[in-house]
Amino acid sequence: MKTLGFIHTAWMMVEVIKRELNTFGLPVRAFHIWDESVLIDFMKAGEITPQVIRRLCHHAVSVEEAGADIIIFTCSSTSPAVDVVKRFVNRPVLKIDEPMAEDAVKKGRRIGIVATVATTLEPTSRLLKEKASEAGKEISISTALCEEAFQAILQGDTERHDRMVLEKAKALSREVDVLVLAQGSMARLAWPLGQQVTVPVISSPSLLMEKLRAMIKASEG
């Protein structure tokens, strides 16, 4: 049985991942590291600093030493740093949003990104462009940022968070071919939003689970 090590920067992602693992019924063990200070420092600096990269590397090494067969980072904002982290461990390292970016590029040329944290927009846009380049496709990216929703969920007001995200996403959907919910914390809104718009809505946790399932199956021969 494979062991998965998840590294989070937001407490709500622990429950999101636990729920997805249960839904998909993957035959794995899983454990979690949560360090909110990474996201706080990143948001304060407005960029990934050497100090943030060093802490992420430390977490990855700790997860590897704790027995993880696969290491997963669940914060889209820190995705660019993961490429550095990979050099310091001897296990596969996944970004939660990589399968989502690949799927978005397949589904449309005009891609809309919905985010509640400003630091997520640039890394997600960059990843989408990388995947489009790999696929030989040209894309255009539009964004909708709802920072007030992030503050609402930090205060435990999920109803207000959801209402604000849905409003922004529905408006953006009129301009794009596919909507990307850039943060895993919005994953539960993919289905209700999909009932209210005419374009595909994708989020990262479920696509990550499909990727993990494929990796585990391949490793078992």
For the segment 56-109, what is each residue's pLDDT rounded down to a tens digit? 999 999 999 999 999 999 998 888 889 999 999 999 999 999 999 999 999 999
Q: Tell whether 92 and 18 lie within a shared domain.
A: yes
Q: Tell whether 105 and 174 lie within a shared domain.
A: yes
Q: Which residue reads 């310091």 in tokens?
A: 88
Q: Tell whether 8 and 47 lie within a shared domain.
A: yes
Q: Tell whether 156 and 86 lie within a shared domain.
A: no
Is 0.75 topped by the overall pTM? yes
Q: Tell whether 80 and 105 lie within a shared domain.
A: no
159 burial class (0-12, 13-18, 19+ CB within 10 angstroms)?
exposed
Domain membership of residue 13 as a residue range: 2-96+207-219
Q: Tell whether 91 and 103 lie within a shared domain.
A: no
| Whether the Cβ atoms of residue 141 and residue 108 lie closer than 8 Å to each other | no
Q: Tell whether 111 and 191 lie within a shared domain.
A: yes
Residue 221 has pLDDT above 70, yes or no: no
Of 39-48, 50-59, 116-125, 186-195, least confident by mean pLDDT is: 39-48
Q: Count how many domains the chain has.
A: 2
Question: Percent of the chain having pLDDT more than 70?
Answer: 100
- The average pLDDT across 3-10 equals 95
Q: Tell whether 102 and 200 lie within a shared domain.
A: yes
Q: Tell whether 12 and 34 lie within a shared domain.
A: yes
Task: Annotate 186-211 with b (16+ C-beta within 10 A) or e (fewer).
Answer: bbbbbeebeeebebbbbbbbbbbbeb
Q: Tell whether 135 and 145 lie within a shared domain.
A: yes
Q: Tell whether 103 and 200 lie within a shared domain.
A: yes
CATH number for the domain spanning 86: value is 3.40.50.1860
Give me the half-sphere count of Cα atoms (radius 13 Å) on the Cβ side of residue 31: 12
